[in-house]
Amino acid sequence: MSKWRYRSGAGGGNPALWGFGLGGCCLAIIGFVTSVSVMAAGEDDYLSALHQEAGKVDGGGASSRGAGGEAADGRLSRESFESELKEKYAGSAVFYSKLAPGSQEEIYQEYQSGASISELRKKIMDRFLHR
């Protein structure tokens, strides 16, 4: 005789489904679909928050700059630029501080002309490594 004794009725021959009728299966499916849709909505919120933060870092938007350190054209003064570099990009700030004053001025002038932070960080490393 086999280990499982089959019963006829709801669930057929599968012992795992004994006691579950059509209502139990529907509830399980509804629960699964609901949880998946809630997870997807949470991921959308998470992704949008990530995109907003990435925009702040890449674009260096006005929201990351204080009104006290801005020059007339909306860019930061040199002191504010160096301070922000230290706060947000500590490694690049260390290399920037080791550059000759002429190289530091050149990088600041490129910042004033609208260069992105990624371009500036690359230039800092190039100047530091004498490339």
Q: Is 15 contained in some domain?
A: no
- Choose among 96, 83, 102: nearest CA to 126: 96
Residue 53 in any domain: the answer is yes
pLDDT in tens, 49-64: 777 777 776 655 444 4
For residues 104 and 51, membership in a common domain is answered with no
Please indicate, yes or no, whether residues 47 and 89 belong to a single structural domain of this protein. no
Tens-digit pLDDT profile for residues 23-76: 666 666 776 666 655 555 555 677 777 777 777 766 554 444 444 555 545 678
Residues 54 and 74 in one domain: no
- Are 27 and 54 within one domain? yes
- Determine the structural domain holding residue 49 and report its residue range: 21-59
pTM of the model: 0.45
How many domains does the chain contain in total? 2
Asked if 29 and 49 sit in the same domain, the reply is yes
Domain-embedded: residue 10 = no
Do 79 and 51 share a structural domain? no
